[in-house]
Structure 1
Amino acid sequence: MTEAVESPATSRRTLLCCAAAVLAGGSAVAVTGCSSDSDSSSSGTGGAASSSGGGAAGAVDLGAASEVPVGGGKVYRDQKIVVTQPTAGQYKAFSAKCTHAGCVVDQVTSGQISCPCHGSKFAVADGSVSAGPAPSSLPEYKVAVQDGKIQVTKA
């Protein structure tokens, strides 16, 4: 039996198919098979998200730290990362995928990371849910600033 490897573009379709199978009386095995690609294969895609020469192994170089405003943040859509700076010199990095439906957050304003799909909001300081329907905080990543540039490690 061979296992199919899905691209991120097909994961939404897989989720919808699995949800339909469950609603139609499918077994728990169908549900288990649906979630196999979302956590393990997403970090290796996209040329813009690859590490560059000066960074730590596995780190994603995102550019100048000066682009992240104090009290706010910046969404790196291609890398699916949001970086915030709750106080001067304190940087935080989170997954930019909303924990409700997996939409990519689109903006950071008034101390909140906002999801455009269903209105969830997350705190810039710790990624915790400020307004639902998101059920949990945004996963946090390791962030470092070296030579004025932001480096994020997803592991």
Structure 2
Amino acid sequence: MTSESLEPAAVTGPARRTVMAAVGAAGVAVALTACGSKDNSSGSSEVKPGGQDGGSGGAAAGPVLARTADIPEGGGKVFADQGVVVTQPVAGTFKAFSSKCTHAGCAVKRVSDGVINCPCHGSQFSAADGSVKKGPATKPLPAAEISVDGDSIKLV
């Protein structure tokens, strides 16, 4: 009887755990890349009449949300059913943001004097870029995409 070893031959290459960790890390990297968005540090979507939005890429817009005359200069209007607020911070420039406050998720209710107001805890946001003007919110309102064609404002 020979005294051959009954133990399995040594396995060469990476351990199963190492392979699984590498696959998991690659999956996370892919997911994070897919979640990336275009660089828009102001968080706003600026649209000027005539559809001059700086690159909507010709995306089809939905039904008319409002007329440009419906959005007061220095103010705005909340469209609760669509979950957006449209502002006109300066004459002829229209912006749109989510109407959901970034503090506790309440719906903003009013826009006046260049400020979007949330009634729940008093957060205020800039009508020009959605940034926080007064807390407790710490994050700006996310931009919403609109198009302006003539006197029609549409969600994209």
What TM-score results when the alignment is normalised by the length of structure 2?
0.60
Superposition deviation, residue 105 in structure 1 = 0.2
> Would you say 1:74 and 2:77 are equivalent positions?
yes
Report what 1:62 is aligned to.
65
> Would you say 1:139 and 2:133 are equivalent positions?
no
The CA RMSD measured in Å over matched residues stands at 1.6
Cα separation, 2, equivalents of 1:84 and 1:152? 13
Q: Deviations over 1:32-64 (max 9, x none)?
A: xxxxxxxxxxxxxxxxxxxxxxx9535353121
Cα separation, 2, equivalents of 1:143 and 1:122? 19
Counterpart residue identity of residue 83, structure 1:
V
Looking at secondary structure, tell me which structure has more helix per residue. Answer: 1
Superposition deviation, residue 142 in structure 1 = 1.9
Question: Which stretches in structure 1 are left out of the alignment for 5+ residues?
Answer: 1-54
Cα separation, 2, equivalents of 1:72 and 1:132? 20
Superposition deviation, residue 94 in structure 1 = 0.2
Counterpart mapping for 1:28-107 below 5 A: 57=60, 59=62, 61-107=64-110
Does the 8 Å contact 2:61/2:147 carry over to 1? no
Total equivalences in the alignment? 99
Task: Find the residue that maps to 2:81 and give its secondary structure.
Answer: helix
Report what 2:114 is aligned to.
111
Cα separation, 1, equivalents of 2:79 and 2:63? 11
Decide which of 95, 119, 122 is 2:125's aligned counterpart. Answer: 122
Larger Rg: 2
Cα separation, 2, equivalents of 1:99 and 1:111? 18
Cα separation, 2, equivalents of 1:103 and 1:129? 15
| Higher relative contact order, chain-length normalized (CA < 8 Å, sep 6+) | 2
What TM-score results when the alignment is normalised by the length of structure 1?
0.60
Cα separation, 2, equivalents of 1:63 and 1:112? 20
Runs (4+) of structure 1 moved beyond 3 Å?
A: none
Task: Find the residue that maps to 2:144 and give its secondary structure.
Answer: strand
Change in Cα spacing, 1:130 to 1:81, as seen in structure 2 (3 Å) is same
